[in-house]
Amino acid sequence: MAGLTAPLAAQGASQPLPPDGPCMPPPPKASLTLAQARQDALRCNRDIIAARRGEEASQADIQIASQRPNPVLSVGVQNINPHAGVGSGNLRSKTVDSTFRIDQLVETANKGNLRKDAAQKASVAAGEAVQAVVAQQTGAVEQAFYDAVVSQDRVQVLTETVSLYTRTQQANETRLKAGDVSRADVTKLQLDNLRAQNDMRQAMADHMRDKAQLAQAMGVPGTLADNRLVPDWPSLDEPTPPVDPDIAQRRPDVTAAEARLAAAASVRDLARAGRVPDVTVGAQYEHYPISEANTNGSGNSYGVFVSIPLFVRHSNGGEARRAEVDYYAALDDRNRVLLEAQNEVERLRNQLEAARLSLRQMRESVVPAAESVAGSAEFAYTKGATGVLDLLDARRALRQTRLDATNAQGDYAKALSAYRTALQSSTTPVSSIPNSQVRTDAPRP
C-alpha cells in the first residue's frame, strides 16, 4: 500500500522499535502509522516469535539427527578369590581377571542418512511455516489497524454530530424565548442530542477496544489508549494485483505443507528401514596373570563379538504402520491447504471488487445526496419552512450515511490487505524446497 512506502509521519509519530530492544508501546501522545505497527509486529508478535523458535529447534534437530551412535566402553574385573587373595606385586600383576571391552552399534539400511534427511526437510518446513505465520500475523495487524482507524473515524463523525446538536440546541433556546419554536420541538432536539451522545460514548468504548486488540496483535504491552492512529487509506483506484496461475503453489503455507509431506515421506522410509536389524560389534581385551597363587591364569587374551537382535516378537511393524498413517495425514493436510489457498484467492478477489464498488458508490452518490438533503433541511429549518421532524430525519440519515461510508472505507482497505496477503509467495528458492512428488489427487491405500 501507499502508506507502507511513504515516509513516516513527521513530528509526533512514534519510531519503529529497534531490532534488538524490548517490546514497548509507542510513547504517550505519539501517533502510530500502519508501517510502524507492521514493523513492531515483526519482532514482538508472539506467534511470529514462537514460529522462529520452532525453526531454531528444527535446526538443532538436524544436528541431533546427524549424530551417530557413540561407542560404549566397558571395564570390569572378575574371578576375585577372597580366600586365595589377589597376590603380590603391582596392580597389573594382581591375580584378578581384568576386562576392557568396546562395543559399537552399526546402523544398517542407511538409517543415519534417512534420519538426517527427514530432519533437514522438517527444518525447511519450519522455515516456510515462519514465512506463513509472518504473512498471517502481519495481515492480522493490518486488519486490526483498519478496524481501529474505522472506529476512530466513527468517533469523529459522532463528535461532529453532537457538536451540531449542541449548537442547534443553544440557538433554539434563544428562539424559544422569542417564541419562534415550541417547547416540544426543543425537547425533540434534546432527545436526539442525548441519543447522539450515547452513540458517541459507545463508539469511544469500541475504539478503545479496537486499539487494545491492535496492541495485542502487535505484541506490545498496553492498550494504545493515548496514541492516535494515522489513517493510511488505500486509493480507490489502487490497481488490483494480478493473479499468477501458480501463486497457490508458491504460498508459504502451501510450501510448508509440501515440505512437511516430504519430511513425512523420509520418516516413513526410516520406519521401513527399522525392519532391518542393527548390528553391534565389539572388541575385548582380557588380562588374567599367572602367579604362584593362580597357576590357571590365561595371561593376555582377545575377543571379538557381534550382536544382532532377534525379531522374534516383533520387527518394528507398529512404527512402520504409524509412519505410513502420518504420511497420508500429511498428504491430506497438503491437499487441504492447497485447496483452501486456491479458493481463498478467488474469494478475496471477489470480495475486494465488491468492496471497491460499494465505496465508490458511497463517495460518488450516497454521501453527496445525503449531504445535499441535510443541507436543504438545515436551511429550511432556519427559515421556518420545515418542521423539526424533517430536520431530525435529515440529520439521522446524514449521520448514518457518514458512518456507513466510514465502514465502507474500512471494508475496502481490509479487503485489499487480505487479498495482498493471500498473494504473498515464499521467498525460498524453488530448488531449496523439497518436493514430495505426490499428486494432489493421490489415492489413499
User: Model confidence over 399-416: pLDDT tens digits?
Assistant: 999 999 999 999 999 999
- Is a pLDDT exceeding 90 seen at residue 125? yes
Helix (H, G, I), strand (E, B) or coil at 98: strand
State the residue range of the domain holding 348: 29-68+107-275+311-432
The answer on pLDDT for 51 being more than 60 is: yes
Q: Which of 239-243, 277-281, 422-426 has the highest mean pLDDT?
A: 277-281
What is the tens place of the pLDDT at every residue in 212-243? 999 999 999 999 999 999 998 999 988 888 88
Domain membership flag for residue 192: yes
Residue 187 lies in a domain: yes
- In this structure, how many other beta carbons lie within 10 angstroms of the beta carbon of residue 319? 16
Structurally, the chain folds into a number of domains equal to 1
pLDDT beyond 80 at 80: no
Spatial neighbors of 218 by CB under 8 A, at least 6 apart, are: 37, 40, 41, 44, 45, 141
Residues 339-367: pLDDT tens digits?
999 999 999 999 999 999 999 999 999 99
Domain for residue 166, yes or no?
yes
438 or 126: which leads in pLDDT: 126
Q: Rounded to whole angstroms, how far apart are CA atoms 249 and 240? A: 20
Q: What percent of the chain has pLDDT over 70?
A: 85
Question: Which residues are 285's β-sheet partners?
Answer: 100, 302
Contact assessment for residue 276 and residue 109, using Cβ atoms and an 8 Å cutoff = yes
Residue 90 lies in a domain: no
- Residue 344's pLDDT is what? 94
Contacts of 160 (CB under 8 A, 6+ apart): none
- Distance CA(144)–CA(414), nearest Å, equals 9
Q: What is the CATH number of the domain that holds 36?
A: 1.20.1600.10
Residue 103 has pLDDT above 90, yes or no: yes
What residue has cell string 445526496?
369
Q: What is the spatial distance between Cα 409 and Cα 424, in angstroms, rounded to a whole number?
A: 23
Tell me whether residue 174 is in a domain.
yes
**Beta pairing, strands 228-229 & 72-78:** unpaired
pLDDT digits (tens, 9 = 90+) for 4-48: 333 333 333 444 444 556 788 899 999 999 999 999 999 999 999
Query: Is the pLDDT at 268 greater than 90, yes or no?
Result: yes
> Residue 61 — φ and ψ, nearest 5°?
-65, -30
Q: Is residue 152 part of a domain?
A: yes
CA dist., res. 416 & res. 3, Å (int): 13
Decide if 44 contacts 102 (C-beta within 8 A): no
In a domain, 146, yes or no: yes
Instruction: List helix spans (H) across 179-251.
Output: 183-218, 247-250
